[in-house]
């Protein structure tokens, strides 16, 4: 049973979502602010945190940054309608997804399932193969351990969203992918048609892949078309 933690200062929302998600097989804890979040983490680290941006005291964005620096958990941010900057910042901090208020409970359920599925699955494996590593330009992406190593064998930390996006690129090398294709392949059906989120993730991924400043970029931007992963990929 996956353990979820919902952090929102609206007591009615907390009660509604806790009951709804429990009915669908999840173990759900709740907190109304940052202090409650840290107390809950002392009891048990969740698989996924559903975190509202607008909270009393420290904002959800600040809490997200601290949370991901200390724990490897999934994060879904809840943002106010029209707060585009909050969504972008949340993704830059490493959140896996975002949902705009107001939203239907079943929409949140779909997002929760998608994030947990991405965190637990190891796509790209052949049946019966216990290990699979994708190698490109000296880099190694272990799809079982969800680890990325640089050409000089330095471990590069990736958020769940960054891992999923890099995996999509590595499984579709030297092929132009539109933003919509990247969204569909990396997040499945549980996403909003919000191109900027992919741009943010690509930008963050590029920064982590800039091992040799003089080398050809591993991810090229094709204006008004999409992105191209340039290296040849070998599966081990």
Report pLDDT digits (tens) over 138-183: 999 998 888 899 999 999 988 878 888 999 999 999 999 988 888 8
**Contact in structure between 1 and 25 (CB atoms under 8 Å):** yes
Tell me the domains of the chain and their CATH numbers. 3-120 (3.40.50.2300), 133-235 (1.10.10.10)
Distance separating the N- and C-terminal Cα atoms of the chain: 33
For residue 27, count other CB atoms closer than 10 A to its CB.
14
For residue 85, the model assigns a pLDDT of 73
The tens-digit pLDDT sequence of the chain (236 residues) is 799 999 999 999 999 999 999 999 999 999 999 999 999 999 999 999 999 999 999 999 999 999 998 998 999 999 876 666 777 777 778 888 888 888 889 889 988 988 888 776 444 433 344 448 899 999 999 988 888 999 999 999 888 788 889 999 999 999 999 888 888 787 665 555 455 677 888 888 999 998 766 678 899 999 888 999 999 999 87
Q: In the chain, which ranges are continuous DSSP H helix?
A: 11-23, 34-43, 60-70, 84-93, 105-120, 160-171, 179-187, 195-209
The pLDDT value given to residue 47: 94
pLDDT at 131: 47
Alpha-carbon distance of 129 to 44, in angstroms, equals 33
DSSP secondary structure code for residue 59 in this structure: -
- CB–CB of 171/132 below 8 Å? no
Whole-number pLDDT of residue 192: 53
What is the model's pLDDT at position 130?
41
Give pLDDT, residue 214.
67
Cis link prior to 40 (omega < 30° from 0)?
Answer: no
Give 35's Cβ-side CA count (13 Å radius).
Answer: 2
What pLDDT score was predicted for residue 129?
A: 43
């Amino acid at each position: 049973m996956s353990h979820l933690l919902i952090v929102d200062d609206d007591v009615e929302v907390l009660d509604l979502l806790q009951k709804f998600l429990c009915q669908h097989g999840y173990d759900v804890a709740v907190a109304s602010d940052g202090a409650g979040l840290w107390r809950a983490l002392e009891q048990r680290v969740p698989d996924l945190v559903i975190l509202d941006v607008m909270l009393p005291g420290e904002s959800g964005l600040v809490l997200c940054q601290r949370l991901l620096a200390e724990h490897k958990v999934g994060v879904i941010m809840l943002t106010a309608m029209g707060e585009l900057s909050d969504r972008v910042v949340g993704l830059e901090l490493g959140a896996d997804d975002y949902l705009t208020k107001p939203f239907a409970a079943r929409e949140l359920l779909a997002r929760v399932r998608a994030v947990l599925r991405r965190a637990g699955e190891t796509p790209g494996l052949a049946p019966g193969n216990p290990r699979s590593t994708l190698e490109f330009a000296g880099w190694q992406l272990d799809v079982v351990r969800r680890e990325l190593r640089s050409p000089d064998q330095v471990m590069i930390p990736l958020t769940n969203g960054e891992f999923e996006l890099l995996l999509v690129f590595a499984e579709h090398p030297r092929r132009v992918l539109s933003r919509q294709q990247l969204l569909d392949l990396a997040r499945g059906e549980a996403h909003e048609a919000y191109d900027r989120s992919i741009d943010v993730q690509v930008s963050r991924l590029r920064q982590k892949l800039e091992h040799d400043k003089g080398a050809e970029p591993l991810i090229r931007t094709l204006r008004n078309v999409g992105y191209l992963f340039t290296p040849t990929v070998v599966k081990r």
